[in-house]
Structure 1
Amino acid sequence: MKFNITFIFVALLFIGCKSPNKQTGQDAKSGATKIVNKLHYSKEKHLKNVKQLTFGGDNAEAYWSSDGSKLVFQANNKAWGLQCDQIYIMNASKPLDSTEIPQLISTGKGRTTCSYFLPGDSTIVYSSTHLVSADCPPVPKKEDYGNKYIWPVYKSYDIFIADIKGNQLKQLTFEDGYDAEPTVSPKGDKIVFTSTRSGDLELYTMNIDGTDVKQITFELGYDGGAFFSPDGTKLIFRSSRPKTATEIKEYKDLLAQGLVQPTNMELYICNIDGSDLTKITNLGNANWAPFFHPSGQKIIFSSNHKSKHSFNLFMINIDGTGLEQVTYDTVFDAFPMFSPDGTKLIFSSNRNNNGTHDTNLFVADWVE
């Protein structure tokens, strides 16, 4: 789970406009102010021809097929009969209409996250809790933890392969504990994922058939949301790194309960064997959902370092220089991914949602 999209309901306050391109005053219930309801902001010079692909519910972590024609994503939409996230596939160029339910990839049971196309685009790797229970696992109540944002790291997550018709083909992980967040190398040979099998949340790689598992991070903290570079030689990921005695105790105590508090994270880059580990941001707050620019020399990511109440997309060089803001929505932009040919960007956003809590998928032409 690269950052559960329910974060936006816990950590942020929302209001949207009923009328396009206008702002509202303060909402008495939420306390939020001036949320703009629109597809595209004038400062977003890297985006052109922004198109909304989904219209309702929570839709996030959309990733392209290698031929650029399809998207696999996770969704929680009560209109589709869902109570928590499941994995779906859709046409990358055709928006869903209001009554259309796309092809279900996961089982429809338990909770799922983090799907990705495998080589050939006919199979999907994803994470799910369905083997332990058909029910959605319980979500911790923030009031039980001092109203802090707490994210469950369900030990019932394992990693599976299904085909694009939803036929379940293979289970890849069998360890006790959290195994999730798989993504696939452009070379088609490796999967990177996050696991608690060592007692901490670390990154691992394995062959696409689940063999040859290797641990590649070893420092205390939550290492996750990893993606390969375009040439398959490096990984970009986000991590918490508790340092003080108080931070370390809090992190360990929460993890022992299957919980984390992922609100202070920075980005790291390393070789696929874990060598040459380098921290590339030091911005504060939560910096996450990183993905390589097609050049392999920049990273696009989501961050609230400028305002705790607003996540936007930013770009930075792999040496940590040249920070640039890419999106300017007033609530939430995240989960960016460049199309395989580098001409388009898919991302999730709370923009243009008519004052609801909906998170939708948006695609845009990329302008250098």
Structure 2
Amino acid sequence: MKTPVFTRARGEVVGCSIGLALAAGILASCGHGRTESACEEQYGVGETTTPRTGVVRAGFQVSQPPEWVATEAPLLTDHVQVTSRQRFVRAGESYFNADASWIIFQAVPVPADAGQDPSPFYAMYVARLVRDGSGRIVGTDEPFEVSPPRSANTCGWFHPTEPGRILYASTIGEPAGDERAGFQVGTNRYRWAFPAEMEIVTQVVRPMVLTFDAATRAMCGTDYLASPVFSREGYDAECSYDASGRFILYANVDPAKTSPGGRADADIFIFDTRTGRHHTIVEAPGYDGGPFFSPDGRSICYRSDRAGNDLLQIFIADLRFEKGPDGVPIPVGIEREYQVTDNKAVNWAPYWHPSGRYLVYGTSEVGHTNYEVFAVEIDRDLLARGRASDLRRRRLTHAAGADVLPVFSHDGSLMMWTSQRGPTVEGEERSSSQVWIARWSGSPLDREWRE
């Protein structure tokens, strides 16, 4: 495997999934790897390789940090790029494990041969984060590819209580290519695809397990190959666990609801891993997907194209529960739904802050050629009165190129997202999408929104 670029920064820079495909016109990049000299030329840095570990570390001090370093402070600081164009044609849609020691992400690797075309599909990877003596993230160890060969993959997630276990969506084999029509913005040639072979799978990552102590290893399973969690007709993906690991939130495209050549109709479900039952949660016309449980497990956030106008809006819903035979409350539907955005933009990939007080999401509100990350407070009183436009919002990212797919670590100290703010490669019009992490300090935002 090729060595990944490893970056180290103090507010400075070095160096098709469902989530990424929406902004593919912005995020897509082609060509071959960035050279060290190109990196030095753009940022005045040099890279050194540590042969024993196979990790590339960047030793530098940037003389002129980009303007966004100051603009994004004090909310985002200590920016670091943790995947590289040298290693991946593009990478993104990443998530932390429970203690933010590992990340899972999808990526298209740079081909081994210079004349070879990159894979048309994303593979799934996990990587251990590396920190310096002060605890600041400086990069990753060598990423491990975990998905089956030649498969299409998306939407990775870590099990919250079983160390080393992951969840993601995979075709397991090579897709047939007769994909259903997906979401498309106007006449843009980039669209989401919903391959019917896509299944939600789980497996234990052996390289992760080998890093655990003996007591933790004893808790891990040995199913190292991807296997479906369940099997049903149509596309199943956009999956995540609740905090207990019992319930899986996901989106399904039912072939029976989609006419040949028509737009796929995705709905949101919850799968109970204990009983094997599927509960319909959101069933509205058009696409509804990208759901996540709130930190307290009482609500979900998601995106919807139910208006049928080639835009996406953000929604939240309070779940309805029924007591199961074992006395555990089972989410079986929604009590109330709230629309959080109502504009002429594409708003997507909402994600909860651990406090549950606000969401972060990517939006084309600034412009359809430059998606940015925004935060929006969740005030149910305003939402219940239909006053979503009165919710307080804050733009968080300010770099050229797309900034999308924001997520938080479980303790809220880090934000990770997919960005095009890195250096460009000769022959490419824009920077490739890669994974970035920054320290999150929400205190100024909390103080501002309490006033």
Mark the runs of 5 or more structure 1 residues left unpaired by the alignment: 22-35, 248-262
- Aligned match of 1:183 in 240, 243, 247? 240
Aligned equivalents of 1:169 and 1:157: distance in 2?
A: 12
- Aligned match of 2:269 in 204, 216, 228? 204
**Greater Cα offset, 224-233 or 100-109:** 100-109
The 8 Å contact of residues 148 and 226 in structure 2, kept in 1 or not, is answered as: no
Q: In the superposition, relative to structure 1, how do residues 51 and 155 fare at CA in structure 2: closer, same or farther (>3 Å)?
A: same
Q: Which residue pairs with 2:417 in the alignment?
A: 347
1:317 counterpart letter in structure 2: E
Q: Which residue pairs with 1:19 in the alignment?
A: 42
The 8 Å contact of residues 301 and 314 in structure 1, kept in 2 or not, is answered as: yes
The 8 Å contact of residues 66 and 121 in structure 1, kept in 2 or not, is answered as: no
**Greater Cα offset, 295-304 or 80-89:** 80-89
Q: What aligned pairs does 1:262-277 form with structure 2 within 5 A after superposition? A: 263-272=310-319, 273-277=333-337
**Greater Cα offset, 146-155 or 60-69:** 146-155
- Aligned match of 1:299 in 359, 376, 381? 359
Q: Which residue pairs with 1:62 in the alignment?
A: 94
Give the Å deviation of 1:170: 3.1
Matched, 1:282 2:314: no
Q: Which residue pairs with 1:241 in the alignment?
A: 306
Matched, 1:5 2:47: no
The 8 Å contact of residues 343 and 366 in structure 1, kept in 2 or not, is answered as: yes
Give the Å deviation of 1:78: 2.2
TM-align CA RMSD = 3.3
Q: What aligned pairs does 1:140-179 form with structure 2 within 5 A after superposition? A: 146-165=187-206, 167-168=224-225, 170-179=227-236
1:269 counterpart letter in structure 2: I
Give the Å deviation of 1:188: 2.2
Q: In the superposition, relative to structure 1, how do residues 130 and 176 fare at CA in structure 2: closer, same or farther (>3 Å)?
A: same
Q: In the superposition, relative to structure 1, how do residues 165 and 330 fare at CA in structure 2: closer, same or farther (>3 Å)?
A: same
Aligned equivalents of 2:17 and 2:274: distance in 1?
A: 22
Give the Å deviation of 1:92: 2.5
Larger radius of gyration: 2
SS of the aligned residue for 2:70 comes to: coil
Instruction: Specify which structure has the bigger relative contact order, considering alpha-carbon pairs within 8 angstroms and separated by 6 or more residues.
Output: 1
SS of the aligned residue for 1:277 comes to: strand
Q: What aligned pairs does 1:118-157 form with structure 2 within 5 A after superposition? A: 118=159, 119-131=161-173, 133=174, 146-157=187-198
Give the Å deviation of 1:40: 4.3
Give the Å deviation of 1:360: 1.0
Q: Which residue pairs with 2:287 in the alignment?
A: 222
1:129 counterpart letter in structure 2: T
Give the Å deviation of 1:14: 8.2
SS of the aligned residue for 1:113 comes to: strand
**Greater Cα offset, 337-346 or 349-358:** 349-358
The 8 Å contact of residues 42 and 423 in structure 2, kept in 1 or not, is answered as: no
- Aligned match of 2:126 in 89, 94, 102? 89
1:42 counterpart letter in structure 2: A
Q: In the superposition, relative to structure 1, how do residues 309 and 172 fare at CA in structure 2: closer, same or farther (>3 Å)?
A: same
TM-score calculated relative to the size of structure 2: 0.66
Q: Which residue pairs with 1:42 in the alignment?
A: 70
- Aligned match of 2:432 in 346, 358, 361? 358
The 8 Å contact of residues 172 and 209 in structure 1, kept in 2 or not, is answered as: no
Aligned equivalents of 2:77 and 2:235: distance in 1?
A: 39
1:114-168 C-alpha deviation (Å, 9 max, x unpaired):
010113231111111124x37788798999x954432211111111101113822
Q: In the superposition, relative to structure 1, how do residues 80 and 92 fare at CA in structure 2: closer, same or farther (>3 Å)?
A: farther
Mark the runs of 5 or more structure 2 residues left unpaired by the alignment: 1-15, 31-37, 45-63, 132-137, 208-223, 258-264, 320-332, 380-387, 443-451
SS of the aligned residue for 1:76 comes to: strand
Give the Å deviation of 1:207: 2.1
Q: In the superposition, relative to structure 1, how do residues 161 and 54 fare at CA in structure 2: closer, same or farther (>3 Å)?
A: same
Aligned equivalents of 1:154 and 1:211: distance in 2?
A: 23
Aligned equivalents of 2:193 and 2:80: distance in 1?
A: 33
- Aligned match of 1:103 in 133, 140, 144? 144
Aligned equivalents of 1:136 and 1:108: distance in 2?
A: 16
Q: In the superposition, relative to structure 1, how do residues 134 and 101 fare at CA in structure 2: closer, same or farther (>3 Å)?
A: farther
The 8 Å contact of residues 172 and 226 in structure 2, kept in 1 or not, is answered as: no
Matched, 1:335 2:364: no
Aligned equivalents of 1:152 and 1:169: distance in 2?
A: 22
TM-score calculated relative to the size of structure 1: 0.80
Aligned equivalents of 1:137 and 1:346: distance in 2?
A: 33
2:337 counterpart letter in structure 1: L
1:335-368 C-alpha deviation (Å, 9 max, x unpaired):
1111111111111101113254421111111112
1:175 counterpart letter in structure 2: R
**Greater Cα offset, 10-19 or 211-220:** 10-19
Give the Å deviation of 1:176: 1.8
Give 1 or 2: higher helix fraction: 2
Aligned equivalents of 1:307 and 1:350: distance in 2?
A: 15
State the percentage of identical aligned residues: 22
Q: Which residue pairs with 1:73 in the alignment?
A: 105
Q: In the superposition, relative to structure 1, how do residues 89 and 348 fare at CA in structure 2: closer, same or farther (>3 Å)?
A: same
Give the Å deviation of 1:9: 4.3
1:363 counterpart letter in structure 2: I
Aligned equivalents of 2:66 and 2:145: distance in 1?
A: 29
SS of the aligned residue for 2:373 comes to: strand
